[in-house]
Chain A
Amino acid sequence: MYAIIAGAGKVGRNLARELIGKGHEVTLIESSRPRYLTIEEEYEHAVQYGDATELWVLERAGIQRADLVIAVTGDDEDNILVCQVAKEKYLCDRIIARVNNPRNHDTFRLLGIQPAVSATDLILRLIEHEVPRYGLVHLLALEEERLEIIELEVTPDAPTVGERVADIALPEGSLVISVLRGGSGFVPKADTVIEAGDEVLLVLDSGLEEAITEFFAPNGHHSAI
């Protein structure tokens, strides 16, 4: 695979090192001359000096044959532009953009720059995992597909305690896919009875989190974070 990485900061450099280590071909593009000279010692021909938002710089790096373009500069507009021309002008199949300011996430989405990764959002998600709100943990979000996999701990006052899975009228677009109990997990059958303290895994359409919480942890959101 041939990957072009715009921006040779900490993220870009480490990504390049990992990808090269896995046997991929990589070109890093860096627009700061001093930084370019410093890292050229390690990366040699795998780093080029230039502004990756300039078309000729991308063409010099061989964007026409790139399988993947990753824009990880410290500037969101630059990351959007690099990915936009890679995708729409050079028809590169796969792009990945870094979002520096999480408030710009909507703009990346508006302009079709996906996936867009924000360190702040990732850390927030980890915090959520460690300190669950509503007693609900997001395990996986498939944004394009608008699906999520979540985990909930069943509270003793939940209306579903003692109910058979088949008898629980969950909202359309949600499904219990696994139950973790006593240190092991299993896929529930229709006659599996939910117990307090179970951890249930559900797949659901985005936006159903609150409705689902009512079924398994109705007072979870009162617990202090």
Chain B
Amino acid sequence: MFVLIVGAGRVGSALAKSALAAGHEVSVLDADPLSHERLDAGQSMSWEEANGQFTVGTALETDALIQAGIERADVFIASTAGDNTNLVIAQIAQKRFGVEKSIVRVMDPARAEWYGAQGLQTISPTKHAIEMFERALEPEAA
């Protein structure tokens, strides 16, 4: 599969590395050139040597998305730091470029739920954290 990941923060870069190791073709787009370092960190060879692709650019600019290979992407992952940016670019991937699977990180559980119902695949780390805290608070089962 060809996976395009926008936003190479902690989540995006870790996901990029594991997807590449799993044998997928991976392209990463980030506005910050320094984020490339996260892709190299802890690896035996550089991201490019490992056949990863990296593009510097703003995801809202169509040219940057095209340069990063969106036209042949099977999966689009929006994992920038901004919920609203993620929601907008995931819809661009879906509606303009017809990417089959568009997965979005949305911190706000309320927006994650509503956009999830509108046909986007949303993942809300906040919601998961709340659930884990709630479980941790439960009294130990006897």
Contact = CB atoms under 8 A, between A and B. Distances in A.
Contacts of B91: 110-111
A53 B83 contact: yes
A110 B82 contact: no
A120 B62 CA distance: 19
User: DSSP majority for the A interface?
Assistant: helix
A75 B61 CA distance: 14
A210 interface: no
Contacts of B60: 76-77, 101, 104, 107
Interface in B120-140: none
Interface string B92-106: 100110000000000
A81 B85 CA distance: 9
Contacts of B82: 77
Given A77-B88, A78-B84, A103 B95 contact: no
Contact of A53 (B84, B95, B118): B84
A44 interface: no
Interface in A40-70: 53-56
A114 B84 CA distance: 18
Interface stretch (B6-14, B26-34, B108-116): B108-116
A54 B114 contact: no
Nearest to B89: A77
B3 interface: no
B84 A107 contact: no
B114 A107 contact: no
B4 interface: no
Nearest to B88: A77
B87 interface: yes
A55 B91 CA distance: 19
Contact of A77 (B61, B85, B95, B108): B85
B110 A107 contact: no
Contacts of A54: 108, 110-111
A51 B61 CA distance: 24
The 6 closest A-B pairs by CB, nearest first: A77-B84, A55-B110, A81-B84, A77-B88, A77-B85, A78-B84
Interface of B: 60-62, 82-85, 87-88, 91-92, 95-96, 108, 110-111, 114, 118
7 contacts: A54-B111, A77-B60, A77-B84, A77-B88, A78-B84, A81-B88, A103-B61
